[in-house]
Amino acid sequence: MKKLLSILSIILLLNISVKADEGMWLLSLIQQFNIEKMQQMGCELSAEEIYSVNKTSLKDAIVIFGRGCTGEVISDQGLVLTNHHCGYGAIQQHSTPEHDYLKEGFWAMSKDEEIATPGLTVTFLVRIEDVTDQINSVLTQEMSEIERQDTAYKVGSKIAEEATEGTHYNAKVQSFYGGNQFFLLVYEKFTDVRMVGAPPSSIGKFGADTDNWMWPRHTGDFSIFRIYADKDNKPADYSPDNVPYKPKHHLPVSLKGVEENDFAMILGYPGGTNRYMTSTEVEEAINISNANRIYIRGIRQEILLEDMLADDAIRIKYASKYSRSTNYWKYSIGMNKALKRLKIVDKKKVNEKTFTDWFNSSPELKEKYGNALSLIDNSVKSRGEYTHANQYISETLLRGTELVYFASGAKNLEEVLNSGNKEEIESLVSKSKEKARSFYKNYNTPTDQKVAKAMFKIFAENVDKKYQPEIFNTIETKYKNDYSKFVDNMYNKSVFTDSTKLWAFLEKPSAKTLAKDPAYIASKSIYNKYRELHENLTPFYADFDKGHRLYVGGIMEMNKGKAIYPDANFTMRLTYGSILDYDPMDAVHYDYITTLKGVMEKEDPDNWEFVVSDKLKELYNNKDYGRYALENGEMPVAFLSTNDITGGNSGSPVINAKGELIGTAFDGNWEAMSGDIVFEPKLQRCINVDIRYTLFIIDKFAEAKHLIEEMTIVK
């Protein structure tokens, strides 16, 4: 009986029945944990064909795109496919009112027309290596959690340095399973990446904020770039002499399409999940972090959008910022709704009781894991006020008010000016000018000024005085809490509000002038309080980290020998599942595929989110779909799969049983927005652009057939 209860406890604790669809699995462990089940579901590949150190494999076609997305190589000439929203920053970077690539799209009709994109990188995974024993050999029970983390970091840095010595690779050691295991990851980064093609936002961002996280979906969320290398096929900074990269592997592109229950897998870089989160943490997410983000960003975004819709130049400047902000804002709304509706707090409490019953079954287990949950709970409950204030400073005054954030960068300049070191002053002035060029390119002072008035006001209204920066005392005494008057004075008198004033200052920089600058004064005050709050939070973080490590370690011990996946941490993972429909609520059924007919049904020429171009309508009316249509003559747009993904997976390839590309992952679904915390197999779906729609847009809409011709098309 006790053995039976133990087995049931494990299942309840993990809140899974080891379903094939759940899990973001480490590639180096799929032979041990996953490949047999994958093959039972229809996968025709071996584990070695998916991940290999010594041979070419699927992982060699997968890249980190930029700093937070995934991409896949789809030709032997280094062509990379990712999401439109992943390439959005680059598209915006190259857009002007005269050449509005966001609105009109962009297609290079030859390699000479491909646009170099400074700052954009793609990164390949070379290999993964378990270094847990090496790290654990220097860790002791007597160490505090901070000492433990510092030691692990130092040893990990040495391991990474030795692993890449004499090579052009870079590497890092990352912790997994709550700090219970460590893996070395070796990478190869390419810095010459050029923009090749992007549909207009009316396709690539169709539905915008309204359709974000929603199904049915009709968004052609893709863009195309190319990797360039030197003559030896090695990474190199931009040069006209560079040539298209020759990849170890590129994904063949399938025209066979998808059918319900087909096997589908995704390789990519999921950013972060919290599947081992406790009930107390979930309550904190609902009541503090998500609630604050929803309220603050909602106000800021309304101000930005009003100015963006009124002026194309402002729209281009703020397009990428606005998109990033609204994406996480709506995610937070959906997550709170799902956490409450699906009673996730109650589910987590059941898990915690099961865990407690397990460690109480043995004095040794109780000694080892007995304080795990109390460490987490006490830390979360004790840090609440600090967490709230810290988030408000970040969201309203640092991220929210651009002038304050930009002015804060002058701290080093002030120190050097006071030192009088002419060489260092010249160097920092030069760097300051470089940063300023980048900042002002995507900045509009009147817009930011409107935002600042709202942000300072709501900060004061929602944060206790004891957590407010000193500048708020000035606002109270000198400006009688008139935030508009304070902000107007700051923007009128600061040298940071426009490039002309800043350039004049940098020609003759003065520590005295800087010390009197109202934006700089405000930024110093705000950052001082921010650092103070962070210091107050540090001991709570240490207790939390220890509790989390013990909690996850206990789960691993309970399930020794069984397949358990670690939380996502922006390292390459594999998820596998099926093409499948779902029933989101009573009397509602969603099919697994959408078509171009749905785009036309949603069209609204008076709503910027649902504008449809004349050319796309012409192709639709003529049913001019070429070889990309379904058997019934309709044009597929998007499809659903049961793959377990999260942020960072954007742009990941959806791959069929033969290792061929069938789509590009770009979103999750509204009904399962709690998925980063608890996987919901009946509800959770991955939304993907059908590769046939991507090819149709490239071929028929853009008439860029040369790009199709360089792909390996499988019929």
Note the Cα 77 to chain centre separation in Å.
27
User: Within 10 Å of residue 210's Cβ, how many Cβ atoms?
Assistant: 12
At 188 the three-state DSSP class reads strand
Q: Which residue from 591, 585, 573 is spatially nearest to 275, judged by alpha carbons? A: 573
The sign of the CA dihedral 105, 107, 113, 114 is positive
Q: Which residue from 6, 50, 45, 11 is spatially nearest to 28, judged by alpha carbons? A: 50
d(CA 452, CA 464): 19
At 603 the three-state DSSP class reads coil
Q: Which residue from 298, 291, 348, 307 is spatially nearest to 326, judged by alpha carbons? A: 298
Look at the block and give the residue holding tokens 């047999």: 36
- What's the DSSP call for residue 122? E
Rounded to the nearest 5°, which phi and psi values hold at 46? -90, 165
**What are the helix (H) ranges across 370-462?**
372-382, 384-392, 402-408, 411-419, 422-441, 445-462
List, as one string, the DSSP characters of 551-589: HHHHHHHHTTTS--PPPP-SS-EEEEEEB--EEEETTEE
Query: Among 221, 377, 567, 690, which one carries the catalytic annotation?
Result: 221
- What's the DSSP call for residue 632? T
Query: Among 650, 652, 674, 690, which one carries the catalytic annotation?
Result: 650
Q: Which residue from 630, 652, 638 is spatially nearest to 269, judged by alpha carbons? A: 652
Residue 375 to residues 449, 542, 566: CA-CA distances in angstroms? 43, 9, 21
Note the Cα 112 to chain centre separation in Å.
31
219, amino acid identity: T
- Whether 650 is catalytic is yes
Note the Cα 710 to chain centre separation in Å.
30
503-514 b/e with 16+ CB inside 10 Å = b?
eebbeebebeeb
Q: Which pair of tokens denotes residue 674?
A: 């709690």
User: Within 10 Å of residue 193's Cβ, how many Cβ atoms?
Assistant: 27
d(CA 209, CA 271): 21
- Is the N-terminal amide bond of 270 cis, ω within 30° of 0? no
Quote helix, strand, coil % in the chain, to nearest 5.
Answer: 50, 15, 30
- Whether 221 is catalytic is yes
Burial of 199 (0-12, 13-18, 19+ CB in 10 A): buried
654-688 b/e with 16+ CB inside 10 Å = b?
bbbbebbbbbbbbbbbbbbbbbbbbbbbebbbbbb
Contact status, residue 517 vs residue 414, Cβ threshold 8 Å: no
- Whether 448 is catalytic is no
The sign of the CA dihedral 272, 274, 280, 282 is positive
Query: Among 84, 85, 250, 548, which one carries the catalytic annotation?
Result: 85
**What are the helix (H) ranges across 230-371?**
279-284, 291-310, 312-341, 344-359, 363-369
Q: Which residues form the catalytic set?
A: 85, 221, 650
